[in-house]
Amino acid sequence: MKQFDFEEERIRQEIKKLEAKHVLIQLPEGLKPHGPHLAGVVEKAGALPIVSADPCYGACDLATAEAESLGADLIIHYGHAKLLKYERVPTIYVEARATVKVNEAVEKAVPLLEKWSKIGLATTVQHVQTLDNVKEILLHAGKTVVIGDAGHMNYSGQVIGCDYSNAKSVAGDVEAFLFVGGGRFHALGVALSTSKPTIVADPYEKRAFSVDEGARKILKQRWASIEEAKKAKTFAVLVGLKPGQKKLEKALSIKEKLEKNRKKVHLFAIRNVTPEVLMNFPTVNSYVNTACPRLSLDDASKFQKPVLTMNEAFVVVGELSWDELCRKGLFES
């Protein structure tokens, strides 16, 4: 059964309307197996398809430079909603809405929500169309259900890897969250951003589970990283080069704050934050990551030195306490 709607007819029509000749297809990791098939759709529409094999971490990671270097006159970006206000290369966003049913997983989640009566709902763009149905299931189970408005996002209840504003906007009104979607990545983001118990209803595996223990483990790791960074004498502030991750002004602000705390600070421009890249700078004791904040959290064990989020850097310079950080969230918002 096809699990996602790739809007193939829309793609064919858009290519013909735009008279595109060279099309760069960009997919997140979970959708890359469909790349060859989608290339065939583009080819039949009369354009040359090129599938980007590089990692894609979100709509902030638009393959603009790649498209320009290849002479592509159109990007088809799959799996995410539009995030950037302006694209240098014409871009079509195909959200790839999931076609799998969520009811079975949600029903399995209900017993795990037994201790709480007020439940917040969150999901990725693939499942936003199911939230009304999920709400009805929870209402039938006697729950009060709250869904955050669109906020910074395109849809109510939608979260992305670095932005949980929808969930945070209702965190004070609920006792726990139900996240609808696959895996732990986004659900952990909900838990860490709201400090609320978070249950996952995974429609792909048809199961439900808690991510609370994983969130607690990450918080312990972050505490240890911050304490280690406080001892550091030399920092590097990482400035992301991807279109939606470039925050030079914030990097300069953090550099200034660290220098006022008698730290030596360098600015590093970087496209992909990896342990191998950072190992090239042995005199740097700690890093502050102003690009994708999830790299600091989810890959922490892979880095030999602390890689802090922006909010964590504020703890190092004394502008936030640990308790304030936990209430505010580890992510920059």
Instruction: Kindly state the DSSP code that residue 160 receives in the 8-state scheme.
Output: B
Which tens digits make up the pLDDT trace of 57-97? 888 889 999 999 999 999 999 999 998 888 999 999 999 99
Same domain? For 267 and 189 the reply is: no
Neighbour order of strands in the sheet with 144-147: 144-147, 118-123, 176-180, 198-202, 207-210
Query: Cβ of 303: how many Cβ atoms within 10 Å?
Result: 18
Q: Is residue 144 part of a domain?
A: yes
Distance CA 149, CA 328 (A): 19
Same domain? For 202 and 240 the reply is: no
* E strand or H helix that includes residue 78: strand 74-78
Same domain? For 107 and 147 the reply is: yes
Please give the pLDDT value at position 332: 59
| Mean pLDDT of all residues in 193-215 | 96
Instruction: Kindly state the DSSP code that residue 142 receives in the 8-state scheme.
Output: T
Both ends of the chain: CA-CA distance in Å? 38
Asked if 237 contacts 229 with a C-beta cutoff of 8 angstroms, the reply is no
Same domain? For 195 and 237 the reply is: no
Domain that holds residue 182: 103-210
Q: What CATH number corresponds to the domain at position 187?
A: 3.40.50.11850
Gyration radius from the chain CA atoms: 21
State which of 184, 210, 236 marks the end of a domain: 210
Distance CA 249, CA 237 (A): 11
Please give the pLDDT value at position 150: 72
Which tens digits make up the pLDDT trace of 163-197? 899 999 999 999 999 999 999 999 999 999 999 99
Same domain? For 253 and 160 the reply is: no
Distance CA 97, CA 122 (A): 15
Q: Is residue 296 part of a domain?
A: yes
Distance CA 128, CA 181 (A): 10
pLDDT, mean over the chain? 93
State which of 96, 122, 144 marks the end of a domain: 96
Q: Is residue 20 part of a domain?
A: yes
Please give the pLDDT value at position 1: 43
Lowest mean pLDDT among 61-65, 207-211, 328-332: 328-332
Same domain? For 177 and 236 the reply is: no
Q: Which amino acid is at 274?
A: T
Secondary structure (DSSP) of 215-239: HHHHHHHHHHHHHHHHT-SEEEEEE
pLDDT for 331 beyond 90: no
Lowest mean pLDDT among 1-10, 13-22, 32-41: 1-10
Instruction: Kindly state the DSSP code that residue 144 receives in the 8-state scheme.
Output: E
Same domain? For 187 and 237 the reply is: no
Tokens 């829309």 sit at which residue? 10
Nearest of 222, 200, 219 to residue 211 by alpha carbon: 200
| Mean pLDDT of all residues in 41-50 | 96
Instruction: Kindly state the DSSP code that residue 304 receives in the 8-state scheme.
Output: S
Please give the pLDDT value at position 242: 86
Which tens digits make up the pLDDT trace of 109-138? 999 999 999 999 999 999 999 999 999 999
What are the strands, taking DSSP E only, across 207-326? 207-210, 234-240, 264-270, 286-289, 307-308
Alpha carbons within 13 A on the beta-carbon side of 161 = 21
State which of 159, 180, 210 marks the end of a domain: 210
Same domain? For 8 and 74 the reply is: yes
Same domain? For 205 and 220 the reply is: no
Q: Is residue 308 part of a domain?
A: yes
pLDDT for 283 beyond 70: yes
Same domain? For 310 and 272 the reply is: yes
Q: What CATH number corresponds to the domain at position 236?
A: 3.40.50.11860
Nearest of 265, 273, 225, 275 to residue 245 by alpha carbon: 273
Please give the pLDDT value at position 36: 96
Same domain? For 178 and 147 the reply is: yes
Q: Is residue 203 part of a domain?
A: yes
Same domain? For 243 and 313 the reply is: yes
Which tens digits make up the pLDDT trace of 222-276? 999 999 999 999 999 999 988 888 899 999 999 999 999 999 999 999 988 889 9
Q: Is residue 333 part of a domain?
A: no
Q: Is residue 178 part of a domain?
A: yes
Q: What CATH number corresponds to the domain at position 22?
A: 3.40.50.11840
pLDDT for 287 beyond 80: yes
Tokens standing for residue 57 = 């971490």
Please tell me the total count of domains within the chain: 3
Distance CA 253, CA 248 (A): 9
Q: Is residue 291 part of a domain?
A: yes
